[in-house]
Structure 1
Amino acid sequence: MIDYRKATVPVWTLATGDVQVPAVTGDGPLTAERLAELRGVLAGLANAPIATLEAHPLPAQIDRSRGIRLDAVSPLAQHLSQLITQSARSSSVAATATAAGEGLYRMVVPAKVAAQFGQGFVCSMRSKAVAGGIHGALVDSTGIAAQATFVPVGRAATAGAVGGAGATAGVAATGSVALTVAAPLVLMAVAVGVSAHADQKRQQAIEHITELLEQLHEEKLDDERSNLDGCRNAIDRATAILLDEGEIGASLGLDSAVHAIDTALSKARSRLQRWQGALDALPEGKPVEIGKLTESFPGVDDHGGTFRAHLELAALATALKRRVDVLQAVEHAQKNPDNLFENFTRVLRRDQQGLEELESGVAGVLMRLSALELARPNGLRPVFTTSEVDRLMRATHRIHQLSDGAMTDSRATDVAIEIARDKDGSVVVFPALPV
């Protein structure tokens, strides 16, 4: 992690509409804690989404393969370039921080705003390397913002809208906090960051499924995996076209991809109902024999197994569905630029409730399974054999670990979207992260 403790970096306050809020900060430097408080206050006072954007030095080592690359002519890159250029004219801090032409830009969307586009949309990914840790795109769980001093950038207006977003960029009403109205910039950053996050979860699910299916040799499950992963090319093409302001046509194959994803989600919901029914049928408060449990949850007592493959298939279908939802939201926002961000969040919310219910149901099944007490197999012998003891201990440990993968906390948190900008103006947007 880069040490930013001695860094003073500029921070912009971005609004998605022409709003006016009372001044809640002066012109002096801000600490990370003060900046977080400011975001919360502005989110509460304003009637339009407000985010902050920080400009940090670009770290020497960045794994760009984890993000989505956009050319310098893409709407997101152009909006960011306009903001940088205009701000440098009126702020010496911004001019110094952006003089190199490259940098790491970190947009933070407050929890209240993040909840508008789905509470389950951005969830942390557990890290196997550190107990309780999560995966991050560029920084660790503390984030770079915790080690920097921030200087607010003054009223730097950006040029008019670029890229079909249609919303005019400029300065909020005078007499208020310095807000730069930049709805297209916020929209594109959120859209690409969330899409990258969903694709990161897709990659993780594919890796797990592939490993499981190599052990199972289940052709039907392998077909399910192939059908879902085959949707990626159509989704990637549609993402690239929409983010460059094109229109999605039937030749892209997105309709067939959506059908495959919806079919997989239907299977996941049917399996969830069977799992819930099987758990409801178990005797309450009594130990469950391993053999009886594996009838409804095959392989639950092992590292592999059909049950675990079904879990990963559900996770894969959900991740792909989230990417499609982002595409639909961007498309609707570009077609109706007058209420750009409102359209975006409305479309995202439309399907999110069903996905969140599915994820919550799966998490509930995993929690219930992990709490079960296992019994030895029924038999005539009054004592355990060594093999029975070993199996029971292994099964108990593995079943209790199921709760580690359950996402039980869907509370909205601040969401960070990190953008690496190169000297040629091109950008790489990394997976959105919970702050």
Structure 2
Amino acid sequence: MTDDRKALVPVWTLATADVRVSGLTAGESMTAERLAELRGVLAVMADEPIVTLEVHPLPDRIDRGRGIPLDAASPLAQHLSQFVTQSARSSLTVARATASGESLYRMVVPAKVAAQFGQGLVRPMVPKGAAGGIHGALVNSTGRIAAQAKFVPVGGAAAAGTAGGAGATVGVAAAGGTALTVAAPLVLMAVAVGVSAHADRKRQQAIEHITELLEQLQEDKLDDEHSALDACRNAIDKATAILLDQGRLGVSLGLDSAVHAIDTALSKAGRRLARWQSALDGLPEGEAVELDTLTKSFPGVDDHGGTFRTHLELAALAIALMRRVIVLQAVEHAQSEPGNPFEHFTRALKRDQQRLDEMELGIGRVLVRLSALELARPNGLRPVFTTGEVDRLMRAAFRIHQLGGGVMVDSRTTDVAIEIARDKDGSVVVFPALPASA
């Protein structure tokens, strides 16, 4: 929300299975901060994953190119349309908020639930030219929804289905306590597409950086690595489209060869990471390091380009591509047993991406250790150094110290927001999942 009006924002509490909780009331408005507290309480109270879904006016300007578009016939769009239609029948607030047919839906997954599908999966992505900002269609530059919005809980009078599949039957959570709307397919598909879009956004950023670096390096071997990874995108995009339409993956897609190329790149990244860690372990503890000594193990670390920085971006690209593949595998597992899609989805995600989280954390720790190093004056017989040598040392120190900026070396999970723009024809665009703020 960007204006000063106290707009009423309908918010649903969705469960992925039959669940009962106490102490929830519908119809009484609350602030964004109170809503965040409610999400935390629900995450503690219930054994099953519980998320909230808000509906906001669609912004006049929105960069749809950042998201993944799905037509009105896709399962996610159908589940969302069914959900909105039935909710509007029983709630005047919902009917008014969705009357235009164009809305921005925001699903927030609490940190406890987000941890089920990976510790390091969703992290802030700072856009160029907007320090302190994060990518998002709804939030402002501080990552917060305007405080003027009032959130109105909507009762569990509608549901998007209790089983997977586009034709899932409508059902409401079992009676007793407060019944939450059961919408496992809606939650599953929204999380899957949002996470996939987030990983693809990181892929785009890595590609941009690699292209810039390779133009400076003119290194054929690294260019071949880049080309092999970039060629995987087509197969992954096709597989994503098929699975999100609940089709079956076939050999003709070329996904197997794409996964092989990504695995090869991850293997190279793992070996490079081990060498970097060994090189840092071999440095004298607490002593200044000569720049020439450092660049032997980390070539180009003192420059904007360089082999080391290209290796970092290639690792980031491979990780981003594999995260998309893992989402595909998780969705396929979930759709094979529609009775409990979210359980299969989260189990597959958490198991397979643990090694990716560990690699990212390992690279982050290497960068932090590098940034903390003190550079020594070059050894030599001359008591005075030239202006060029001094300038090089100062530039190198500055660039090396910058390596640790913005690096996350822990795996704490925050609430995750997934934004979905819905048009009048029922089609949707799902934007990259991002850390949510109150």
* Same-fold status (TM-score > 0.5): yes
- Matching residue of 1:250: 251
- Matching residue of 2:104: 104
Matches within 5 A, 1:373-384: 373-384=374-385
Name the CA shift for 1:412/1:147 in 2 (closer, same or farther; >3 Å).
Answer: farther
Paired letter, 2:383: P
Asked if structure 1 preserves the Cα contact closer than 8 Å seen for 2:163 and 2:339, the reply is no
Asked if structure 2 preserves the Cα contact closer than 8 Å seen for 1:16 and 1:183, the reply is yes
Does 1:407 find its partner at 2:408? Answer: yes
Matches within 5 A, 1:297-376: 297-376=298-377
Asked if structure 1 preserves the Cα contact closer than 8 Å seen for 2:164 and 2:339, the reply is no
Asked if structure 1 preserves the Cα contact closer than 8 Å seen for 2:262 and 2:318, the reply is yes
Name the CA shift for 1:165/1:336 in 2 (closer, same or farther; >3 Å).
Answer: farther
Q: How far apart, CA to CA, are the structure 2 residues paired with 1:14 and 1:133? A: 29
Of residues 108-117 and 159-168 in structure 1, the stretch that sits farther from structure 2 once superposed is 159-168
Secondary structure at the residue paired with 2:156? coil
- Matching residue of 2:262: 261
Structure 1 regions of 5+ residues with no counterpart? none
Q: How far apart, CA to CA, are the structure 1 residues paired with 2:163 and 2:339? A: 14
Identity of aligned residues (%): 77
Query: 1:127 Cα shift?
Result: 3.9
Secondary structure at the residue paired with 2:104? strand
List, as ranges, runs of 4+ consecutive aligned residues in structure 1 with deviation greater than 6 Å.
none
Q: How far apart, CA to CA, are the structure 1 residues paired with 2:383 and 2:175? A: 84
Secondary structure at the residue paired with 2:227? helix
TM-score (norm 1): 0.97
Name the CA shift for 1:295/1:406 in 2 (closer, same or farther; >3 Å).
Answer: same
Query: 1:407 Cα shift?
Result: 2.0
- Matching residue of 2:93: 93
User: CA deviation digits over 1:296-339, x for unaligned, max 9?
Assistant: 00000000000000000000000000000000000000001111
Asked if structure 1 preserves the Cα contact closer than 8 Å seen for 2:124 and 2:435, the reply is yes
Asked if structure 1 preserves the Cα contact closer than 8 Å seen for 2:163 and 2:184, the reply is no
RMSD of equivalent CA atoms: 1.6
Name the CA shift for 1:207/1:12 in 2 (closer, same or farther; >3 Å).
Answer: same
Asked if structure 2 preserves the Cα contact closer than 8 Å seen for 1:169 and 1:180, the reply is no
User: CA deviation digits over 1:138-185, x for unaligned, max 9?
Assistant: 433433364410111122223646862786542222343341100000
User: CA deviation digits over 1:58-77, x for unaligned, max 9?
Assistant: 11111100000000010100
Name the CA shift for 1:167/1:414 in 2 (closer, same or farther; >3 Å).
Answer: farther
Name the CA shift for 1:145/1:177 in 2 (closer, same or farther; >3 Å).
Answer: farther
- Matching residue of 2:117: 117
Secondary structure at the residue paired with 2:213? helix
Q: How far apart, CA to CA, are the structure 1 residues paired with 2:19 and 2:184? A: 12
Does 1:215 find its partner at 2:216? Answer: yes
- Matching residue of 1:47: 47
Structure 2 regions of 5+ residues with no counterpart? none
- Matching residue of 1:423: 424
Secondary structure at the residue paired with 1:228? helix
Name the CA shift for 1:15/1:169 in 2 (closer, same or farther; >3 Å).
Answer: farther
Q: How far apart, CA to CA, are the structure 1 residues paired with 2:122 and 2:344? A: 19
Q: How far apart, CA to CA, are the structure 2 residues paired with 1:395 and 1:160? A: 58
Secondary structure at the residue paired with 1:59? coil
Secondary structure at the residue paired with 2:339? helix
Q: How far apart, CA to CA, are the structure 2 residues paired with 1:308 and 1:5? A: 47
Q: How far apart, CA to CA, are the structure 2 residues paired with 1:373 and 1:160? A: 59
Asked if structure 2 preserves the Cα contact closer than 8 Å seen for 1:137 and 1:431, the reply is no
Q: How far apart, CA to CA, are the structure 1 residues paired with 2:80 and 2:168? A: 15
- Matching residue of 1:397: 398
Q: How far apart, CA to CA, are the structure 2 residues paired with 1:236 and 1:4? A: 40
Paired letter, 1:180: T
Paired letter, 2:89: R
Q: How far apart, CA to CA, are the structure 2 residues paired with 1:137 and 1:227? A: 32
Q: How far apart, CA to CA, are the structure 2 residues paired with 1:83 and 1:47? A: 23
Q: How many residues align?
A: 435
Q: How far apart, CA to CA, are the structure 1 residues paired with 2:131 and 2:430? A: 27
Secondary structure at the residue paired with 2:61? coil
